[in-house]
Structure formats: structure tokens, C-alpha cells
Amino acid sequence: MSGETLPGTPGADERRIVLHVDMDCFYASCERLRDPELADEPLVVGMGYDADETHGAVATASYEAREFGVESAQPISTALELLPRRDEERLDDGDADAGYYRPVDLEFYEEIADRVREVLHDCADVVREVSIDEAYLDVTGRTSWQTVDGDSRTLAEGFARHVRERIDREVGVPASVGVAPNMSTAKVASDHDKPDGLVVVEPGEVQQFLAPLPVESVHGVGPVTARELGELGIETAGDLAAADPTELRNRFGERGRELYDRARGYDDREVTPTGRPKSLSRESAFVEATDETDAKREKVRALAADVAERARRRGAMYRTIGVKVVTPPFDVNTRARSLSGPVDDPDLVESVALDLLAEFADDEVRKLGVRVSKLSFAAEEQASLDGWEGSKPAQTSEGNASRSDDAAEVTETTGDLRQWLDADEHDDAAAADSGPGRQRNGQASLGEFE
Ligand code: TTP
Ligand code: MG
């Protein structure tokens, strides 16, 4: 089937089913996963924070801690004034007005995020990951806007509930999900009833849903824009939808028009899959520099197996295998070997990496890394035969860096990450959608969030 849209069919977007999944207080939920004692407690996760100290800033706070006024990007010292730190040494410290504080452990959160991604990819044909805890799914081919007899709820709602439950069951962290016929409305919907929310906006209800919401709810409107809009008497999404688009464009440029469209619930962006990495790498440091051959070889073996496994999971073949060897004080040596054609061969990754390591057999080593590059990907899944799917452009492009892969790069990495990443050939195409303030390693930077 060609799957073409019939001529004159209004708004193909009306039929689309887009899910936006955003994990609830994500870093805090990860901390709770490994320490169930933190469940239901006020919990603050601090960036640049060390146990018992007062420096750093809030990365996130559990919903219980938010009740005290603690919020992202606040200095830890301010959070401590609002919510004193619980004395965890004292077993009887049952002070209801005290909270737990934990430092950010991005490596662990990335592992959890990877497991969530696996569920999402299993649930949808197209997944666009936009940050460590957020993704859009196009599930048009998997469910429908229809209702079943005797139930006013759509099949899409049941599907979204199933996605949320799978994340909870298989990973153990809570998510909020928004369902709508387009991306920007799905995003607003996922945020509408956090935490543990499920908000479904059916095609005929988009404008009605958006209209009463404060204008800050429109995706892309931060506090600064909201203030400027307020000066024009625009307080709600409905006000924005009713405003004069020419005036908005004069005041805010092209963005004004875009925000106007979003407030009206018009957004024809396709959910495009997160781009592909150009290389995959993993590295790991020794606790202390070592010249022991066995220790070095053992680490390289583990890294090689890990990288090869990730490549296989992503359907990637590689033509170049490389190692990175960091010797004291901080000398970074990279060596690589190219093959005659692309392979998916974990044994070869190991043997080539060990071979390249041999040059450093007598050297003291601080850190080791393994990388596969010159990646190519097997053909994409065939378009499904249900007609609508087939109308989408084939997704066969290669070469965009993905946030998820950047994130994955970080997983086993400490210290001089940049050098290895810089050596990797990433492009930034996918990063443009990652939202303000999100650095490409999945950790948000402070002060940049609108
Ligand atoms: P968010 O999804 O914005 O926040 P959240 O998941 O903590 O809470 P919510 O339930 O409202 O979605 O960001 C995801 C993670 O990114 C968050 O857990 C920690 C990190 N982050 C920062 O490090 N700094 C910040 O300023 C923000 C907003 C987030
Ligand atoms: Mg979140």
C-alpha cells in the first residue's frame, strides 16, 4: 500500500497519536529505587553537593520536598533553610519537617534511563528522546482514538496506561504520560497532572483543553516570555490563541507565530526518531594507576564486551575499533584499527582492543576506553501495511548524534570525558530539541532553565 493521505483530507495530525512521557522527579525516583527508605519522604538531590555540606544546587526535589518550597536550581543553602537536613545517624530522628539530601549520581540515573528507554522502544515504532527523562512516542500504528463499546475511554488511553505500568513494573520508577494528536499538546498534557499523571486530549478537544491554562503551560513559553505576554494582556493559552498573529510576530519574531500555533493546538511536527551516534564508546578509570597487565587486559575485555553489546542492541555495525589509554599524569593516547568492511563481532572488538593495548603493556595506566566507530545501521523496519504508517518518509538517515547515546557515553566515564567525546564525531542536530539548559550528557545545567 502506498499509504498516501487522500487529497483534501484535513489535518493528517488529527489522526496521529503522540505520547509524551516525562519521569516524575526523576533523579529522586532513581535514589528511591536503590534506597526504599526514601519512599514518600521529602528528598532533595543536589548537584555539586556533598554529604553534610551546604554547597551545590538542587537538581530535583521529591514532591514531598516541593511542599516545603524546595525547587530545581535553588542553592542547597536555601533548600536547607526551607527543609532542614534529617540527621540520618539518629534512628529516632522522625522529624516530619526534615528531609533527606543526596548528591547527584548521574551514572546510576543513566542506567535507569536506559532501562526506561528499552521499554519505550518496545512500545512504539518511533521514539524521540529529548532528555534523560523525557521522550515522545508516535504510537499511531499501535492503537487508535476509537472507544470500545460501553466505555467512554479511547483505546489510546488504555495503551498509554499500559506504557506507564510497564515502566513502573519493569524499571520501578513513576512516569507521567500525556496523549494528544500532536507533540506540543502531548507535552502540556504530561505536565498537567504530575506526578503519576495520565492525561488524554482527544483530537476534538485540544483547544478546549489548552484554553484555560496559564500561558506558561504552552510549550516554549518561559517566565520571561510569560511576563512580556502578560504586558499585552495575554494570561492564558486561550488569550494567546485569540491574539493577533501579526502583532505576535512583530513582537516576538517567528517564535511568536509558533507560540500562537501551539496555543491553538496546531503543531504538525512529525515525531522523528532520535538520531544515530557516529561512534559508541565506554571508558573506566582504575582506582589507582596500575601497570599490571592482567588488570589492564581484564578491564579492556569488559569494556569491549559492553561496547559490542550496545552496538548490537542498536543494530549498529562498525568498521573501526579503537582504544584510549590514559597514562599519568593525564596523557591521553588513542589507537584505532580499521577493518575492510563493517562487522558486528564482539570477539573481534575484544581481540583488536587487546592487541592495541599491547603497545602499553609496560606502562602505568589510569584509565582505559574502548570505542567502535564508522558505524552503519541495518535497514529500518519496513513501513507497516496499515496505510497511515506508510505515508511517513522512510527513516534511513544516518549520522545524527543522539542525546541518548551521548548520555550512554557518559555512563562509565569519570573525569576527562570531553577528550574522548571530542574525539568522537558527533553532530549536534538532535541536541537542538533537548530543551533549554540541558547539557548533552543528560545533566541539566543550572540557571539556564526557563
Ligand atoms: P525534569 O523532568 O524537569 O524534572 P523532574 O523529573 O525532576 O521532575 P518532574 O516530576 O517535574 O518532571 O528534569 C529531569 C531531571 O533533570 C531532574 O530529575 C534533575 C535534572 N534537572 C537538573 O539537574 N536541574 C534542573 O534545573 C532541572 C529542572 C532538572
Ligand atoms: Mg521529569
Closest CA to 200 of 212, 188, 214: 188
How do residues 173-182 score in pLDDT, each as one tens digit?
999 999 999 9
Percent of the chain exceeding pLDDT 70 equals 80
User: Candidates 20, 23, 26: which one to mutate for ligand 1, based on the most atoms within 8 Å of Cβ?
Assistant: 26
Cα 21 to middle of ligand 2, angstroms: 9
Ligand 1 atom closest to 28 (CA): 18
The reply to whether 134 belongs to the active site is yes
- Ligand that lies nearest to the alpha carbon of residue 31, given by its number in the listed order: 1
**Minimum CA distance residue for ligand 1 atom 28:** 72
Ligand 1 atom closest to 73 (CA): 26
Q: How many CB atoms lie within 10 A of CB 413?
A: 23
User: What pLDDT score was predicted for residue 246?
Assistant: 92
Q: Which of the residues 31, 64, 134, 283 is marked catalytic?
A: 134
Cα 274 to middle of ligand 2, angstroms: 18
User: What pLDDT score was predicted for residue 120?
Assistant: 96
Query: What's the whole-model pTM score?
Result: 0.67
Cα 259 to middle of ligand 2, angstroms: 22
How do residues 1-47 score in pLDDT, each as one tens digit?
344 434 433 444 579 999 999 999 999 999 999 999 999 999 999 99
The reply to whether ligand 1 has any atom less than 6 angstroms from the CB of 70 is no
- 283, β-bridge pairs: 369
Lookup: cell for 114: 536506559
The reply to whether ligand 1 has any atom less than 6 angstroms from the CB of 321 is no
How do residues 242-289 score in pLDDT, each as one tens digit?
999 999 999 998 889 999 999 999 999 999 887 777 788 988 889 899
Whether the predicted pLDDT of 431 surpasses 70: no
Q: Which of 84-93, 298-307, 377-386 has the highest mean pLDDT?
A: 298-307
The reply to whether ligand 1 has any atom less than 6 angstroms from the CB of 171 is no
> Band of the pLDDT at 408, cuts 50, 70, 90?
very low
Please provide the average confidence, as pLDDT, over all residues in the chain. Answer: 82
How do residues 52-87 score in pLDDT, each as one tens digit?
999 999 999 999 999 999 999 999 999 999 999 998
**Minimum CA distance residue for ligand 1 atom 22:** 59
> Band of the pLDDT at 97, cuts 50, 70, 90?
confident
Cβ neighbours for 234, distance < 8 A, ≥ 6 positions apart: 215, 240, 243
Q: Residues marked as binding for Mg(2+)?
A: 22, 133
Once rounded to an integer, what is the mean pLDDT over residues 193-213? Answer: 96
The reply to whether ligand 1 has any atom less than 6 angstroms from the CB of 133 is yes
For residues 437 and 449, give the distance between their C-alpha atoms in angstroms, rounded to a whole number. 5
User: What pLDDT score was predicted for residue 144?
Assistant: 96
3-state secondary structure of 408: helix
For residues 30 and 111, give the distance between their C-alpha atoms in angstroms, rounded to a whole number. 10
Cα 438 to middle of ligand 1, angstroms: 10
Lookup: cell for 361: 603493556
Closest CA to 188 of 217, 225, 161, 157: 217
The reply to whether ligand 1 has any atom less than 6 angstroms from the CB of 59 is yes
Residue with cell 601497570: 291
- For residues 163 and 174, the answer to whether their CB atoms sit within 8 Å is no
In angstroms, what CA-CA distances link 236 with 140, 200, 222, 241?
A: 30, 20, 13, 9
For residues 267 and 181, give the distance between their C-alpha atoms in angstroms, rounded to a whole number. 9
Once rounded to an integer, what is the mean pLDDT over residues 346-373? Answer: 96
Q: Residues marked as binding?
A: 22, 133
Lookup: cell for 20: 509524551
Cα 303 to middle of ligand 1, angstroms: 30
The reply to whether ligand 1 has any atom less than 6 angstroms from the CB of 24 is yes
Structural domains in the chain plus CATH codes: 26-107 (3.40.1170.60), 214-263 (1.10.150.20), 279-431 (3.30.1490.100)
How do residues 10-23 score in pLDDT, each as one tens digit?
444 579 999 999 99
- Ligand that lies nearest to the alpha carbon of residue 196, given by its number in the listed order: 1
User: Candidates 78, 133, 176, 449: which one to mutate for ligand 1, based on the most atoms within 8 Å of Cβ?
Assistant: 133
For residues 92 and 263, give the distance between their C-alpha atoms in angstroms, rounded to a whole number. 51
For residues 119 and 123, give the distance between their C-alpha atoms in angstroms, rounded to a whole number. 6
Once rounded to an integer, what is the mean pLDDT over residues 406-422? Answer: 31
Ligand 1 atom closest to 449 (CA): 26
Cα 41 to middle of ligand 2, angstroms: 18
The reply to whether ligand 1 has any atom less than 6 angstroms from the CB of 252 is no
3-state secondary structure of 380: coil
Cβ neighbours for 296, distance < 8 A, ≥ 6 positions apart: 290, 357, 360, 361, 365, 368
For residues 180 and 143, give the distance between their C-alpha atoms in angstroms, rounded to a whole number. 13
- Ligand that lies nearest to the alpha carbon of residue 132, given by its number in the listed order: 1
Cα 352 to middle of ligand 2, angstroms: 41
In one letter, which amino acid is 404? S
The reply to whether ligand 1 has any atom less than 6 angstroms from the CB of 411 is no
User: What pLDDT score was predicted for residue 347?
Assistant: 97
The DSSP 8-state label assigned to residue 48 in this structure reads: T
The reply to whether ligand 1 has any atom less than 6 angstroms from the CB of 190 is no
3-state secondary structure of 46: strand
Task: Tell me which of 96-105, 227-236, 349-358, 424-433 is least confident.
Answer: 424-433
Once rounded to an integer, what is the mean pLDDT over residues 316-332? Answer: 93
